[in-house]
Every structure is written in structure tokens, then in C-alpha cells.
Structure 1
Amino acid sequence: MPYITETRYTRSELLAMRKRLQIAEKAHRLLQMKHDGLIHEFSSFAPQVKKELDFLIIRHTRARTLMIAGFMVEGSDALTLSANSVESLIHIDLHTRKIFGVITPVIEGIDIKSDLVFRGYSLYNTSLITDDIVDTYEDLVEAIITYSAHESTLKRLLVEIERIGRRVKALENIVIPQISHAITVMSRARDELEREEHARLSHVKKGRQRNDAH
């Protein structure tokens, strides 16, 4: 027990140990509150991210299906030419926010949706399926951006939950019990010393009284 071997059983050491216990218990309470808050935030956020993943899969499947149909209708060369003609104006805005002190990413796509007349490919030489493919892939990009930001947030929350959980368990199962045990041992030792000191003083006093009587 390191908390015992490092002490000298003095009153100041005992007071310091009790102060250490108060600090450890306060830290445990605060960390437990943060841990519970993060779990609540994670539990509330996870279903939304699951829906976003399902939606992303649906959009990805639709995009692939339309792409296959586009190859059949337009042909590989024509569709590739149209794709290379599209000018992407998408911008990604990256910043962060804090959730219970945890820094999480915020990713926003700007100008994901493009106007039909500004896409770059010829509207006269392509069929409507080309427009549908572009619309679908823009929807897919939007879904990817939304999901990636929220999935990253969930991962960071989970890492913090596990990290704080380990600290809470260490305080609860190791640190606080060790300090409490050390305080008990020190208190008993000081009580024993006080009894011995009291007995010694009583013995000295009686000896002096006997000497005075003679």
C-alpha cells in the first residue's frame, strides 16, 4: 500500500491524507457525472447515425443502379465524357464543437447541389438519365458528408467514454480504497500512540507524586 508506506503517522500527514481522500472522491463524482452525460449523449445520437448509414446505403445502391442503366442507355464513352465535363463547385467547411468537453468534427458541404444548366455537359446530346445520375451522386455525396461527420463524433465520444470509465474504476476500486485504508491504519496507530503517551505521562505523574510524598 503506497499510501501507507509513504506516511509518518503525524497529525499533519493524517490531515493531508484525509484531504487527498476528499479530492479523490470529488474527482470520482465529477468524472462519473461526465461519464454518465457522455453515455446519454452517445445513446441519443447513435440511432440517428444508424439511420444516416441506412440512408447512405440506399443512396449508394440507387447511384450504382442508375450508373449501370446509364452505361446501357448512353454508352460508356458518352457517359464518361459527360462525367468529365461536370465542373464540381463543392466546398467542404470543417470546424469543431465540444460535447461535454470532447472536441468533435463538424463537416458541412457547400454548393453540393448543382444547377442543371451549369453542369458542363450538353443537354441536347444526353438523355434524362444523365441528369438523374448526377442528381443521385450529388445526393450520395451529401449523405457521405453528413454520415462521416456524425460517425466520427460517435467514435470520439466512445473513446472518451472508455477513457473516463477506466479512470472512474481506478478511483473507485483502487485509489479511494487505498487512501481509506491508509487513513484507518494511521488513525489506529495515532490512537495507540496517544494511549501509550497518556500511560507514560500518567506513570511519570504518579512517580513524581510518590517522590513528593517522601
Structure 2
Amino acid sequence: MSMIAVIPTRMELTRLKKKLSTARRGHKLLKDKRDELMKRFLDTVREVKTLRVEVEAELMQVHGSFAVASALMSSQSLEQALAYPKQSVALTMTYQNVMSVNVPVYDFQTKTQSESDIYPYGFATTSGELDTAVEAMGRVFSKMLKLAQIEKSAQLMAEEIEKTRRRVNALEYVVIPDTQETIRYIAMKLDENDRSTTTRLMKVKDMLLKQAIEEQQARTAAMLEKAAAKQG
């Protein structure tokens, strides 16, 4: 804990008291923000965990179907079947504000609405396992996109939590204590100045009183001398 370098004046004391009040309000708001972000972050992490398990399980099924299809078809036939896709996907990204964090929201649109366009080949020369693999891949795509979205959201929230934590700690352990210590120092110095001023005023008063008494005594003595001279 250290003091802020200031001149100990009443104006500076008022300014620091306002600064301390603002710092305390900011500290409370940042703590509330950090706690709410932590809650949402933990909810997002649980969602990521659940969705990742689902996506990995479905991708394993897709991989298994492709493995069977590659065993039933020649590699050249498999490559030719998948070489010229009929369907394409356009990805769009918007943002949603979550506790001052702009998290991404992913969406996609297919080139055509026909579900059959996911098969870029004729069914006569291909294996049914390839159809199963392509269909499963189409189903898991939206979940993969959702997983990417919430993983990115979790990453951004974690970064914001760390920034907020540092700000909270800076206010709690540096700004507020240093400001309080400086306020105490200025108040002490002002009290000392007030006591010194009071002491000086009392001394001046005593000096003036002594001087007045001496002047009165001198006037009285002069009057007595004058009266004695007239009698003589």
C-alpha cells in the first residue's frame, strides 16, 4: 500500500473522496459483472462438453460409414463420386452482446433447398454405405457449426473474465487502499495545520493581551505621576 503523490489541501481531499466513491461503485459493478460472466461461462462450458460428445459420436459413425464404403468401392470410383458436389453452403456470422462481450452467432444457407442435392452422384454405381455417410455428414454439419459457435463464445467470455478480474483486483488491492491511505494522510496533515494555526492564534492573543495590560499599566502609572506632580 502506498500513498498518491498529492498536495495536502482541502480541495484535493474533496477530489479524492469523490474518486474513492467512484472506485467503490466501479468495484461493485465489476464484481457483479465478473460473477455473472462466470455463471454464463460455466453454463457454456457444460453445453460445449455435451455437444462435443454428440458431435464426436456422430463423426465416428460418419467415419465408419465412409470406411465401409471405401472397402466396397474402388478408390477411383469413390473419388469420382465425390469430385463434383451439387450443393454448396454460405456461412454468415452476426454478433450477440453478452455482458459487454460480442459473441459470434453462426448461421448457414444451402445453395438449394432440395435434400437430394447433398448426393453429388448417381445411385446406380455407388454403395449404400456412401449414401449413409453423406447423409450423416449433412446432419452433423449444423451441430459442428453450433459447437464452433459456443466454443468461441466460451473463449471470448474467458478472456473478458480475466480482464474483469484484473480490473477488480486493481481496484480492490491498489486504487481503493492507496486512495484511502492518501485521504487519511491529507486529513491528518489538515488537522495538524488546524492545530498549529490554533496554537499560533492563541499565542498572538496572549501577546496582544499582555501588550494591552502593559499599555494600561503604563497609562495608569503616568496618570499617578501626573496627579502626584500637581499635589506637590
Q: TM-score, normalised by structure 2?
A: 0.86
Q: Could you say which residue in structure 1 is the equivalent of 2:222? A: none
Pairs aligned (count)? 212
- Point out the structure with max Rg over C-alpha: 2
Query: Superposed, which structure 2 residues align to 1:13-92 within 5 Å?
Result: 13-92=12-91
TM-aligned CA deviation for residue 126 of structure 1: 2.1
Flag structure 2 segments of 5+ consecutive residues without an equivalent.
215-232
Matched, 1:134 2:171: no
Instruction: Name whichever of 163-172 and 134-143 sits farther off.
Output: 134-143
The DSSP-based 3-state class of the residue aligned with 2:92 is: strand
CA offsets per residue over residues 22-57 of structure 1, 9 Å max, x none?
111111111111111101111122111111111111
Matched, 1:111 2:110: yes
Instruction: Name whichever of 58-67 and 133-142 sits farther off.
Output: 133-142
RMSD between aligned alpha carbons? 1.7
Alpha-carbon distance in structure 1 between the residues aligned to 2:97 and 2:163: 17
CA offsets per residue over residues 105-161 of structure 1, 9 Å max, x none?
111122398522663311222232221111111123222211111100000000000
Flag structure 1 segments of 5+ consecutive residues without an equivalent.
none
TM-aligned CA deviation for residue 63 of structure 1: 1.2
Identical counterparts, % of pairs:
23
Alpha-carbon distance in structure 2 between the residues aligned to 1:10 and 1:123: 89
Q: Could you say which residue in structure 2 is the equivalent of 1:190? A: 190
Alpha-carbon distance in structure 2 between the residues aligned to 1:67 and 1:123: 16
Runs of 4+ in structure 1 deviating by more than 4 angstroms, as ranges, are none
TM-aligned CA deviation for residue 14 of structure 1: 0.8
Amino acid at match of 1:45: T
Alpha-carbon distance in structure 2 between the residues aligned to 1:118 and 1:146: 20
